[in-house]
Amino acid sequence: MKEKFKTLKDVFDLYTEKNLFHMMGQGHFEGLESPIGVGKEANTFSALRKGKRVLVKIYRLQTCDFNRMFDNLRTDPRFDGLKKKQRKVVFAWAKREASNLAKLGKVGLHVPKLIAHRDNIVVMEFIGDEGPAPQVITQKPKHPKAFLEKLIKQMKAMHEAGLVHGDLSPFNLLNWDENPYIIDLSQATPFRNPHAEELLERDVRVMATFFTKIGVKITPGELKAKV
């Protein structure tokens, strides 16, 4: 199986490589195809699973903003008592995304379906066709008002499920066949978090600003009242 990682030998540390081998052995995916993106905390790759494409998200154990991640996690009541140790923080960050995907998938939200999770690796549904669905920032909706109405339903359902995204933006919102798909849920946190209201204010401000720019006038207050 190491042949599958030859071109990626400088990307993974030994611990992550062992985890990848383990997950492949369990049948969660057959092999990495190609890189999709490099984010603030993680690298994402497409992979195959039973002939279908999936997404493998690998949280980096070294080159990540460990302090920011810890500060964000420690106010989430689900991670009360988390120790400030880099590997534990990264594992908790990945676990939070996996847990959020599982919870929101169960209530029918347009988020990637969770397939598997192990330590710093999350395997999830691939949103797109041959290539990944574009971010809304790069492929703006043809009918912005209708798209916003769909997004409002998604945001409302998320909030009814007890979670606020906390980092919602046109960069982590996909436009797949004119339907909004919410991604990057590692920061989503329960409303029991003392910073939840502040995070909600941030989300509605960012999205209201974006949709106003593309022709749908809505204030943060109006959007907040709808979600």
Closest to 186 in 3D by CA, of 108, 110, 128, 112: 112
Relative orientation angle of helices 144-160 and 196-213, to the nearest 10 degrees = 170
Is 184 tagged catalytic?
A: yes
Task: Kindly name the residue from 76, 119, 184, 203 that is annotated as catalytic.
Answer: 184
185's CB contacts (< 8 A; 6+ apart) are 96, 97, 100, 101, 104, 111, 165
Is 167 tagged catalytic?
A: yes
Q: Check if the beta carbon of residue 47 is closer than 8 Å to that of residue 55.
A: yes
Local structure of 86: helix, strand or coil: helix
Gap between the Cα atoms of 94 and 41, Å rounded: 10
Closest to 67 in 3D by CA, of 42, 41, 43: 41
Task: Kindly name the residue from 76, 167, 177, 203 that is annotated as catalytic.
Answer: 167
Q: Which residues are catalytic?
A: 167, 184
